[in-house]
Amino acid sequence: MSNTLELLIRSGNPFISIETLDEQRALEVVQKVARGLKMTLYEWSATSGLCKSDHGKLKPALVPGGKPDQALSFIHQNTDADIILFKDLGAYCRDSVVNRMLRDLMQTCHDKKSTFILVDAFPLPDEIKRFTVRYEIGWPDADELSAVIKQTYNRIKRESDSEITARLTRHEMEQLVLTLRGLSCSEVERVISSAILQDNDLNANDLPHVIEAKRTLLGSTGCLEAIAVDVKPGEVGGLSKLKDWLKLRRGGFTRQAQEFGIEPPRGVLMLGVPGSGKSLCAKMVASDWNMPLLRLDPGMLYQKFIGESESQLRQALSQAESMAPVILWIDEIEKAFASASASSSDGGLSKRMFGTLLAWMQDHRHPIFIIATANDISALPPELMRKGRFDEVFFVDLPNAASREQILKIHIQRRKRDSDQYDLRSLAAMADDFTGSELEQAVMSGLFAAFSENAELEDRHIASEIQKTRPLAVVMRERIAELRHWANNRCVPAD
């Protein structure tokens, strides 16, 4: 990585920009390159001014802090074949004097073989961006992350009065490193410190804590939302074939799988009746595979200005790549791209967006597992469903009698009741054509009925609510029948 930056400097580029939130890592890369090229390194910030850097240690300021114009004048007169690193200079580039001084320095840098490196947390303004060459510092790789984990553990062990232990196998260490991808070195240090100090131990049980800490750090940005994962496979009724398929691919992102010749799984497309548990499956996979879950909201992609919608999608996909390994959940995908399969009045926007998504799905090589859910897959363009985009297309049908019984058991136990005290078989038989969400609501409504009577929940309460409910399969019988007919011989049954 530093070789690329070294080449940019040796090629005579006067201005190089590094856009990153991991400022410390950027400084270390620049310092390493300066030492390798045997060039003097100066660092400037609004608070410390212009200082000479000696192996990462700043000497007394040559120019005091404040606006950069004095520092730029000093550089013009006193430096020769040097590297000058500016922190957060972008905020000052809109100033006409600063902008003019920078442009005047371009020829000076060329003559003196000096290089300006602009390290900013935010994109540079257009006034200076066109004159810079962008350098991507990237995210820490597996070796860097592993080194940070070990350094953090050794530091805490050295500073702590209590006994600090670590019990991680090689496989568990690889899984931990994989999970921490997409975080800066300083963020990794904080997450690992928290995991260790929680019980003075670093072990496999800390992995859920690390995933939740990563989700909290990343928060939600733009069209992507980090979703809390709290659903285990045992808490999802039915879907046995889908569960078996996912279980086989559980270790597909590990190094052992790659050495074995396995390519990481790409994703699944799930068509199903509304309320049948498709969204629950996304949470189940993220929980079972110990990976963060990101939800892409298609409704937020479309913006009113030309070009902004495509930019939103590219930004969301780029963000997902930086956070990998992750589960990327595209909910109700037909709402975003359905009009790409027919003539529409959006000026071809849906088709362009759809093309961007297809190209990315085909070409990306990041550890990202896509789960796309749809209620009406026939409205989607056929290109989306061919092999290579998704590994498989599943149809999530209405649960059968055994699955309904299992779903009722799960929801009764979740409400802290003994499921053995209820006639689940009879209740499941009564709830023919009910979806999973409708079964959950029957249990919930039964609880309210029992609570209003100041009595314990009984079969009669749930049975009464089942009888009152008109399930979606009855209300929308024709549409559900059409959906089932379309999925027959086109999709793999999930159960």
Q: What residues contact residue 269 under an 8 Å CB cut-off, 6+ apart?
A: 333, 372, 373, 374, 377, 384, 385, 389, 390, 392, 393, 394
Q: Is residue 455 in a domain?
A: yes
Do residues 43 and 58 lie in contact, with contact meaning Cβ atoms separated by under 8 Å?
A: yes
Q: What is the DSSP string of 63-115?
A: B-SSSTHHHHHHHHHH--SEEEEEESGGGGTTSHHHHHHHHHHHHHHHHHT-E
AA identity, residue 322: S
Nearest-CA neighbor of 286 among 278, 276, 294? 294
DSSP state letter for 9 = H
In this prediction, residue 221 carries a pLDDT of: 52
Across-strand partners of 117? 16, 85
Q: Is residue 483 in a domain?
A: no
Residue-range definition of the domain harbouring residue 168? 142-218
Q: Is residue 378 in a domain?
A: yes
Say if residue 10 is in the same domain as residue 128: yes
The crossing angle, in degrees rounded to 10, of helices 96-112 and 69-78 is 20
Say if residue 319 is in the same domain as residue 343: yes
Q: Is residue 245 in a domain?
A: yes
Nearest-CA neighbor of 398 among 427, 459, 443, 439? 439
Helix, strand, coil fractions of the chain, as percent rounded to 5:
55, 15, 30
Give the Cα separation of 323 and 244 in Å (integer).
27
Alpha helices in 436-492 (DSSP H): 436-452, 459-468, 472-475, 477-487
Give the Cα separation of 45 and 33 in Å (integer).
20
Give the Cα separation of 422 and 458 in Å (integer).
7
Across-strand partners of 202? 166
Say if residue 246 is in the same domain as residue 389: yes
DSSP state letter for 163 = -
**CA 260 remoteness from chain centre:** 26
Count of domains observed in the chain: 4
| Residues in the chain, overall count | 495
Say if residue 275 is in the same domain as residue 354: yes
Give the Cα separation of 323 and 282 in Å (integer).
17
Say if residue 415 is in the same domain as residue 279: no
Nearest-CA neighbor of 352 among 372, 337, 370, 373? 337
Q: How does pLDDT run across 291-340, given as a tens digit for each residue?
A: 888 888 766 666 544 456 667 777 778 778 877 778 898 888 777 665 55
AA identity, residue 362: Q
Q: Is residue 201 in a domain?
A: yes
Rounded to whole angstroms, the maximal C-alpha distance in the chain is 90
Q: Is residue 257 in a domain?
A: yes
Say if residue 56 is in the same domain as residue 161: no
Mean pLDDT by 10 residues, the chain (495 residues): 82 90 87 91 92 86 89 86 91 88 86 90 83 85 88 90 86 82 83 89 84 69 70 81 88 84 88 82 85 76 56 76 82 68 55 78 84 77 72 88 90 90 91 89 92 91 90 84 82 86
Token look-up 């810079």 returns: 132
* Domain limit, last residue, from 134, 160, 175: 134
Say if residue 21 is in the same domain as residue 123: yes
pTM of the complete model:
0.67
AA identity, residue 105: L
Q: How does pLDDT run across 2-44, given as a tens digit for each residue?
A: 678 999 998 889 999 998 878 888 998 999 999 999 999 999 9
Say if residue 271 is in the same domain as residue 370: yes
Do residues 204 and 212 lie in contact, with contact meaning Cβ atoms separated by under 8 Å?
A: no
Do residues 229 and 294 lie in contact, with contact meaning Cβ atoms separated by under 8 Å?
A: no
In this prediction, residue 305 carries a pLDDT of: 47
Count the helices and strands in the chain (H runs, E runs): 21, 17
Do residues 188 and 25 lie in contact, with contact meaning Cβ atoms separated by under 8 Å?
A: no
Say which CATH number the domain at 20 has. Answer: 3.40.50.300
Say if residue 15 is in the same domain as residue 82: yes
* The dihedral sign for the CA sequence 340, 342, 346, 352: positive
Nearest-CA neighbor of 190 among 231, 232, 221, 148? 148
Q: Is residue 493 in a domain?
A: no
* Domain limit, last residue, from 75, 103, 134: 134
Say if residue 192 is in the same domain as residue 236: no
Q: Is residue 428 in a domain?
A: yes
Say which CATH number the domain at 449 has. Answer: 1.10.8.60
Give the Cα separation of 2 and 8 in Å (integer).
10
Say if residue 290 is in the same domain as residue 306: yes
| Three-class secondary structure of residue 13 per DSSP | coil
Q: Which helix (H) or strand (E) holds 492?
A: strand 492-493
Say if residue 251 is in the same domain as residue 180: no
In this prediction, residue 263 carries a pLDDT of: 85
Q: What residues contact residue 297 under an 8 Å CB cut-off, 6+ apart?
A: 223, 224, 225, 331
Nearest-CA neighbor of 144 among 333, 2, 35, 42? 2
Strand order in the sheet with 224-227: 220-221, 224-227, 293-296, 326-330, 368-374, 267-272, 392-396, 492-493
* Domain limit, last residue, from 339, 373, 396: 396
Neighbours of 293 (CB within 10 A): 25
**CA 449 remoteness from chain centre:** 41
Say which CATH number the domain at 177 has. Answer: 1.10.8
